[in-house]
Amino acid sequence: MTSLNAPLLVSSALYPPPALCFEGVTFSHEEKVLLGPCSFTLEGTGPTLVMGPNGAGKSLLLRLAHGLLTPTQGKVAWSSEGRPRQAMVFQQPVLLRRSAAANLIHALAVNNVPRRTRAKLALDALERFGLAACSNTPARVLSGGQQQRLALARAWVLSPQVLFLDEPTSALDPAAIKAVEEAVREFHQRGTRIVMTTHDIHQARRLAGDVLFLSGGKVREHTPAEAFFDAPVSREAQAFVAGELVE
Protein backbone atom coordinates (compact mmCIF):
# COMPACT_ATOMS: atom_id res chain seq x y z
CA MET A 1 0.00 0.00 0.00
CA THR A 2 1.42 3.35 -1.01
CA SER A 3 0.15 5.04 2.08
CA LEU A 4 2.50 3.40 4.53
CA ASN A 5 5.20 5.97 3.82
CA ALA A 6 2.85 8.86 4.25
CA PRO A 7 2.88 10.58 7.64
CA LEU A 8 0.08 9.37 9.85
CA LEU A 9 -1.81 12.24 11.29
CA VAL A 10 -3.66 11.42 14.44
CA SER A 11 -6.51 13.81 14.08
CA SER A 12 -7.34 15.38 17.41
CA ALA A 13 -10.91 15.84 16.20
CA LEU A 14 -11.40 12.12 16.56
CA TYR A 15 -10.25 11.92 20.20
CA PRO A 16 -11.33 10.76 22.63
CA PRO A 17 -13.13 7.86 20.99
CA PRO A 18 -16.72 7.76 22.23
CA ALA A 19 -17.73 4.75 24.32
CA LEU A 20 -20.52 2.54 23.09
CA CYS A 21 -22.98 1.24 25.63
CA PHE A 22 -25.47 -1.60 25.16
CA GLU A 23 -28.08 -1.54 27.92
CA GLY A 24 -30.07 -4.76 28.06
CA VAL A 25 -30.32 -4.89 24.29
CA THR A 26 -32.46 -7.64 22.79
CA PHE A 27 -33.24 -8.19 19.15
CA SER A 28 -36.05 -10.52 18.17
CA HIS A 29 -37.57 -11.45 14.87
CA GLU A 30 -41.00 -13.09 14.72
CA GLU A 31 -40.96 -13.69 18.47
CA LYS A 32 -37.63 -15.50 18.30
CA VAL A 33 -34.83 -13.87 20.26
CA LEU A 34 -31.80 -13.69 17.99
CA LEU A 35 -29.56 -11.61 20.20
CA GLY A 36 -29.38 -10.70 23.86
CA PRO A 37 -30.23 -9.58 26.30
CA CYS A 38 -26.76 -8.08 26.32
CA SER A 39 -25.22 -5.27 28.30
CA PHE A 40 -21.66 -4.10 27.87
CA THR A 41 -19.64 -0.95 27.32
CA LEU A 42 -16.96 -0.60 24.69
CA GLU A 43 -14.45 1.84 26.15
CA GLY A 44 -10.79 2.49 25.47
CA THR A 45 -9.19 2.68 22.07
CA GLY A 46 -9.79 -0.84 20.79
CA PRO A 47 -9.75 -2.23 18.23
CA THR A 48 -12.62 -4.34 19.48
CA LEU A 49 -12.94 -7.68 17.72
CA VAL A 50 -16.35 -9.26 17.94
CA MET A 51 -15.82 -13.00 17.71
CA GLY A 52 -17.87 -16.12 17.79
CA PRO A 53 -19.14 -18.93 15.62
CA ASN A 54 -21.51 -18.41 12.69
CA GLY A 55 -24.98 -17.41 13.79
CA ALA A 56 -23.76 -16.16 17.15
CA GLY A 57 -25.22 -12.73 16.39
CA LYS A 58 -22.03 -10.84 15.50
CA SER A 59 -23.48 -9.09 12.46
CA LEU A 60 -26.69 -8.30 14.33
CA LEU A 61 -24.72 -6.75 17.15
CA LEU A 62 -22.79 -4.58 14.70
CA ARG A 63 -25.95 -3.47 12.90
CA LEU A 64 -27.62 -2.59 16.19
CA ALA A 65 -24.55 -0.63 17.26
CA HIS A 66 -24.42 1.25 13.95
CA GLY A 67 -28.13 1.97 14.02
CA LEU A 68 -29.11 -0.07 10.95
CA LEU A 69 -31.39 -2.09 13.22
CA THR A 70 -33.42 -0.94 16.20
CA PRO A 71 -33.33 -3.08 19.33
CA THR A 72 -36.56 -4.82 20.26
CA GLN A 73 -35.77 -4.02 23.87
CA GLY A 74 -33.07 -2.05 25.60
CA LYS A 75 -31.01 0.81 24.33
CA VAL A 76 -27.82 1.53 22.43
CA ALA A 77 -26.15 4.67 23.72
CA TRP A 78 -22.99 6.65 23.09
CA SER A 79 -20.89 8.52 25.65
CA SER A 80 -20.51 11.41 23.24
CA GLU A 81 -23.09 14.11 22.83
CA GLY A 82 -25.29 12.93 20.02
CA ARG A 83 -24.41 10.16 17.64
CA PRO A 84 -20.72 10.07 16.73
CA ARG A 85 -19.65 10.21 13.09
CA GLN A 86 -19.51 6.61 12.00
CA ALA A 87 -19.18 4.40 8.98
CA MET A 88 -19.53 0.73 8.21
CA VAL A 89 -17.75 -1.62 5.84
CA PHE A 90 -19.77 -4.69 4.88
CA GLN A 91 -18.77 -8.24 4.06
CA GLN A 92 -19.90 -7.66 0.48
CA PRO A 93 -19.01 -4.07 -0.37
CA VAL A 94 -22.02 -2.15 -1.69
CA LEU A 95 -20.67 0.11 -4.41
CA LEU A 96 -22.55 2.45 -6.67
CA ARG A 97 -22.65 1.84 -10.42
CA ARG A 98 -20.16 4.62 -11.05
CA SER A 99 -16.41 5.10 -11.18
CA ALA A 100 -14.28 4.49 -8.09
CA ALA A 101 -13.73 8.23 -7.63
CA ALA A 102 -17.43 8.98 -8.13
CA ASN A 103 -18.27 6.57 -5.30
CA LEU A 104 -16.15 8.60 -2.89
CA ILE A 105 -17.41 11.92 -4.23
CA HIS A 106 -20.98 10.72 -3.70
CA ALA A 107 -20.27 9.83 -0.07
CA LEU A 108 -18.72 13.28 0.44
CA ALA A 109 -21.65 15.01 -1.25
CA VAL A 110 -24.13 13.15 0.92
CA ASN A 111 -22.22 14.39 3.97
CA ASN A 112 -22.35 17.99 2.77
CA VAL A 113 -18.62 18.36 2.14
CA PRO A 114 -18.12 21.50 0.01
CA ARG A 115 -18.12 20.70 -3.69
CA ARG A 116 -14.71 22.14 -4.51
CA THR A 117 -12.86 19.96 -1.99
CA ARG A 118 -14.53 16.67 -2.90
CA ALA A 119 -12.40 15.62 -5.86
CA LYS A 120 -9.17 16.28 -3.99
CA LEU A 121 -10.26 14.36 -0.88
CA ALA A 122 -11.42 11.48 -3.06
CA LEU A 123 -8.15 11.28 -4.95
CA ASP A 124 -6.11 11.45 -1.74
CA ALA A 125 -8.07 8.55 -0.28
CA LEU A 126 -7.78 6.50 -3.49
CA GLU A 127 -4.03 7.05 -3.39
CA ARG A 128 -3.82 6.08 0.26
CA PHE A 129 -5.55 2.79 -0.44
CA GLY A 130 -3.56 2.04 -3.58
CA LEU A 131 -6.41 2.72 -5.98
CA ALA A 132 -5.17 5.89 -7.69
CA ALA A 133 -4.76 4.06 -10.99
CA CYS A 134 -8.38 2.89 -10.87
CA SER A 135 -10.01 6.21 -10.08
CA ASN A 136 -11.93 6.27 -13.36
CA THR A 137 -12.62 2.55 -13.44
CA PRO A 138 -16.22 1.51 -12.85
CA ALA A 139 -16.31 0.39 -9.22
CA ARG A 140 -18.13 -2.81 -10.04
CA VAL A 141 -15.49 -4.15 -12.40
CA LEU A 142 -12.75 -3.89 -9.75
CA SER A 143 -11.49 -7.11 -8.16
CA GLY A 144 -12.95 -8.24 -4.83
CA GLY A 145 -9.93 -6.96 -2.92
CA GLN A 146 -9.99 -3.62 -4.73
CA GLN A 147 -13.71 -3.26 -4.08
CA GLN A 148 -13.21 -3.81 -0.37
CA ARG A 149 -10.37 -1.28 -0.36
CA LEU A 150 -12.65 1.17 -2.14
CA ALA A 151 -15.27 0.61 0.55
CA LEU A 152 -12.56 1.37 3.14
CA ALA A 153 -11.51 4.48 1.21
CA ARG A 154 -15.14 5.61 1.21
CA ALA A 155 -15.21 5.22 4.98
CA TRP A 156 -11.85 7.03 5.21
CA VAL A 157 -13.02 10.21 3.44
CA LEU A 158 -15.83 10.53 5.97
CA SER A 159 -13.30 10.67 8.87
CA PRO A 160 -15.49 8.53 11.11
CA GLN A 161 -14.99 8.52 14.88
CA VAL A 162 -16.19 4.93 14.88
CA LEU A 163 -15.78 2.38 12.10
CA PHE A 164 -17.71 -0.88 12.03
CA LEU A 165 -16.43 -3.70 9.86
CA ASP A 166 -18.53 -6.82 9.33
CA GLU A 167 -16.33 -9.76 8.30
CA PRO A 168 -14.53 -7.50 5.81
CA THR A 169 -12.05 -10.14 4.70
CA SER A 170 -14.12 -13.31 4.61
CA ALA A 171 -14.35 -13.36 0.81
CA LEU A 172 -10.78 -12.29 0.08
CA ASP A 173 -7.44 -13.94 -0.71
CA PRO A 174 -4.41 -13.53 1.62
CA ALA A 175 -2.88 -10.54 -0.21
CA ALA A 176 -6.18 -8.69 -0.12
CA ILE A 177 -6.69 -9.65 3.53
CA LYS A 178 -3.30 -8.15 4.34
CA ALA A 179 -4.24 -4.89 2.60
CA VAL A 180 -7.51 -4.68 4.51
CA GLU A 181 -5.80 -5.36 7.84
CA GLU A 182 -3.23 -2.65 7.12
CA ALA A 183 -6.06 -0.28 6.32
CA VAL A 184 -7.76 -1.16 9.61
CA ARG A 185 -4.52 -0.35 11.46
CA GLU A 186 -4.34 2.99 9.66
CA PHE A 187 -7.84 3.86 10.77
CA HIS A 188 -6.87 2.86 14.30
CA GLN A 189 -3.74 5.00 14.21
CA ARG A 190 -5.76 7.95 12.98
CA GLY A 191 -7.87 7.61 16.10
CA THR A 192 -10.93 5.93 14.66
CA ARG A 193 -12.54 3.52 17.11
CA ILE A 194 -12.65 0.12 15.37
CA VAL A 195 -15.37 -2.45 16.01
CA MET A 196 -14.96 -5.44 13.73
CA THR A 197 -16.42 -8.92 13.50
CA THR A 198 -14.44 -11.92 12.38
CA HIS A 199 -14.58 -15.64 12.81
CA ASP A 200 -10.88 -15.93 11.98
CA ILE A 201 -9.02 -16.33 15.26
CA HIS A 202 -5.64 -15.57 13.65
CA GLN A 203 -6.92 -12.29 12.31
CA ALA A 204 -8.26 -11.45 15.74
CA ARG A 205 -4.87 -12.14 17.30
CA ARG A 206 -3.25 -9.78 14.80
CA LEU A 207 -5.67 -6.90 15.28
CA ALA A 208 -7.51 -7.09 18.58
CA GLY A 209 -7.14 -4.71 21.50
CA ASP A 210 -10.08 -6.29 23.23
CA VAL A 211 -12.39 -9.14 22.35
CA LEU A 212 -16.14 -9.39 22.67
CA PHE A 213 -17.03 -13.05 22.41
CA LEU A 214 -20.54 -14.15 21.47
CA SER A 215 -22.21 -17.46 21.14
CA GLY A 216 -25.85 -18.38 20.88
CA GLY A 217 -26.87 -14.71 20.76
CA LYS A 218 -25.30 -13.92 24.12
CA VAL A 219 -22.14 -12.07 25.10
CA ARG A 220 -20.01 -14.69 26.86
CA GLU A 221 -16.91 -12.68 27.45
CA HIS A 222 -15.50 -9.18 27.05
CA THR A 223 -11.81 -9.04 27.92
CA PRO A 224 -8.52 -7.54 26.71
CA ALA A 225 -7.16 -9.51 23.77
CA GLU A 226 -4.19 -11.04 25.61
CA ALA A 227 -6.35 -12.31 28.42
CA PHE A 228 -8.86 -13.70 25.96
CA PHE A 229 -6.35 -15.69 23.96
CA ASP A 230 -4.24 -16.81 26.93
CA ALA A 231 -6.90 -17.64 29.45
CA PRO A 232 -10.48 -17.42 28.25
CA VAL A 233 -12.92 -17.61 31.11
CA SER A 234 -16.15 -18.87 29.61
CA ARG A 235 -16.50 -22.48 28.54
CA GLU A 236 -17.58 -21.47 25.01
CA ALA A 237 -14.59 -19.17 24.55
CA GLN A 238 -12.21 -21.82 25.87
CA ALA A 239 -13.50 -24.25 23.29
CA PHE A 240 -13.37 -21.60 20.55
CA VAL A 241 -9.79 -20.61 21.30
CA ALA A 242 -8.76 -24.26 21.56
CA GLY A 243 -10.06 -24.68 18.02
CA GLU A 244 -13.00 -26.88 18.84
CA LEU A 245 -16.18 -26.55 16.84
CA VAL A 246 -18.47 -24.36 18.90
CA GLU A 247 -22.15 -23.89 18.25
Interface residues with another protein (CB under 8 A) are: 63, 66-68, 87-88, 90, 94, 96-99, 102, 106-107, 110-111, 137-141, 158
Pick the closer one to another protein by CB: 32 or 97. Answer: 97
179/166 Cα distance (integer angstroms): 16
Strands (E), the chain: 20-29, 32-42, 48-51, 73-78, 86-89, 162-166, 193-198, 210-215, 218-224
Of residues 53, 59, 45, the one with CA closest to residue 224: 45
Q: Report the nearest approach of another protein to the CB of residue 133 (Å).
A: 16
Q: Report the nearest approach of another protein to the CB of residue 199 (Å).
A: 20
152/234 Cα distance (integer angstroms): 34
Pick the closer one to another protein by CB: 139 or 241. Answer: 139
Pick the closer one to another protein by CB: 51 or 158. Answer: 158
Pick the closer one to another protein by CB: 17 or 160. Answer: 160
**CB neighbours (10 Å) of residue 155?**
23
Pick the closer one to another protein by CB: 155 or 241. Answer: 155
Q: Report the nearest approach of another protein to the CB of residue 105 (Å).
A: 12
Q: Report the nearest approach of another protein to the CB of residue 181 (Å).
A: 21
Pick the closer one to another protein by CB: 103 or 223. Answer: 103
Strand partners, 28: 33
**Could you give the C-alpha distances from 135 to 95, 96, 120, 139, 181, in angstroms and in order?**
14, 14, 12, 9, 22
Q: Report the nearest approach of another protein to the CB of residue 50 (Å).
A: 17
Given CA atoms 194, 199, 204, 208 in this order, what sign does their dihedral have?
positive
141/200 Cα distance (integer angstroms): 27
Q: Report the nearest approach of another protein to the CB of residue 96 (Å).
A: 5
